[in-house]
């Protein structure tokens, strides 16, 4: 799919991987709706990038807000062709920890944001995409979701996070198979250790140490590299139903 002139939505688009994706899409000529709970960061990015970008505040765990956000993207931009889901959270907690067993509420919160929230955006976005006029390949839309290498190499203390990201990987193929009749492709990116706000609070030696765990290149991944893969997925019509690791060949140790 050609990005030029298309309408896009990026959840979690105010920072990190999502913000880099918003920048890429705008640079390629798309109109973009940022969907995020961080109003300040979203408005700042939208103002920086100009009239091609708008913002709607929404919590992906609130289905009414998700429905409204997707509808606003379609109404403002004349439909929806590209959806990138980058909103997510993590929690580090053992099932049998020193303070007791894993808190069920925190486990459910991670599943609700990362997995259920992703699915909710997908179902409303796909409904809107299905109304588009098909391109020369019969394509009407592209959905890119964000998993993690933790879906495959989950570490001790990542049981909730790994479960949520594994669920995203697991639904990628059945979604792609179902949406094939509508001309909507679905692909997932599983990033490794990236330089995002999640790691920004760590001391520099810790950040360097994490980067050194990557076989090559020995550094943290850059959000623009995630965005570059999003671009390729959108533009390459044969990428469908696949989860792509973007990790510098890292395989996470147990802890």
CATH topology of domain 7-193+221-246: Rossmann fold (3.40.50)
* Cα–Cα distance measured from residue 15 to residue 13, given in angstroms and rounded to the nearest whole number: 6
Side-chain half-sphere of 44: how many Cα atoms within 13 Å? 7
The whole-number pLDDT of residue 197 equals 83
Q: Is the CA virtual torsion 27, 31, 35, 41 positive or negative? A: positive
Confidence band (pLDDT; 50, 70, 90) for 205? confident
Residue bearing tokens 């995203």: 168
What is the pTM assigned to this prediction? Answer: 0.96
Name the nearest CA neighbour of 88 among 138, 17, 8: 17
Does an H or E element contain 184, and which?
strand 184-191
The whole-number pLDDT of residue 77 equals 81
Confidence band (pLDDT; 50, 70, 90) for 208? confident
Q: Give the active site residue among 107, 124, 161, 226.
A: 161
The whole-number pLDDT of residue 204 equals 82
Residue bearing tokens 């690791």: 245
Q: Output the six-digit token pair for 69.
A: 């956000």
pLDDT tens sequence across 81-136: 999 999 999 889 999 999 899 999 999 999 999 999 999 999 999 999 999 999 99
- Residue count (the chain): 255
As a whole number, the mean pLDDT across the chain is 95
Side-chain half-sphere of 36: how many Cα atoms within 13 Å? 28
Query: What 8-state DSSP symbol labels residue 116?
Result: I
226 flagged as catalytic: no
């Amino acid at each position: 799919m050609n990005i030029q002139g298309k309408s896009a939505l990026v959840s979690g688009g105010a920072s990190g991987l999502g913000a880099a994706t918003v920048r890429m899409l705008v640079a390629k000529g798309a109109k973009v709706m940022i969907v995020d709970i961080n109003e300040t960061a979203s408005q700042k990015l939208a103002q920086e990038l100009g009239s091609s970008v708008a913002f709607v505040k929404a919590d992906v765990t609130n289905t009414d807000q998700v429905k409204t956000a997707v509808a606003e993207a379609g109404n403002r931009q004349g439909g929806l062709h590209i959806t990138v889901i980058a909103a997510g959270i993590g929690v580090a907690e053992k099932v049998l920890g020193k303070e007791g067993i894993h808190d069920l509420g925190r486990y459910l919160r991670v599943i609700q944001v990362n997995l259920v929230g992703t699915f909710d955006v997908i179902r409303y976005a796909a409904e809107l995409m299905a109304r588009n006029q098909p391109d020369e390949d019969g394509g009407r839309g592209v959905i890119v979701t964000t998993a993690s290498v933790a879906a495959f190499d989950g570490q001790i203390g990542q049981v909730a996070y790994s479960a949520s990201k594994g669920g995203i990987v697991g639904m990628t193929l059945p979604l792609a198979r179902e949406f094939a009749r509508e001309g909507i492709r679905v692909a997932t990116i599983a990033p490794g250790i990236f330089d995002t706000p999640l790691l920004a609070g760590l001391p520099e030696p810790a950040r360097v140490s994490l980067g050194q765990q990557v076989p090559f290149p020995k550094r943290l991944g850059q959000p623009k590299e995630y965005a570059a893969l999003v671009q390729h997925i959108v533009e390459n019509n044969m990428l469908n139903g696949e989860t792509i690791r973007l990790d510098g060949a890292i395989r996470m140790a147990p802890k």
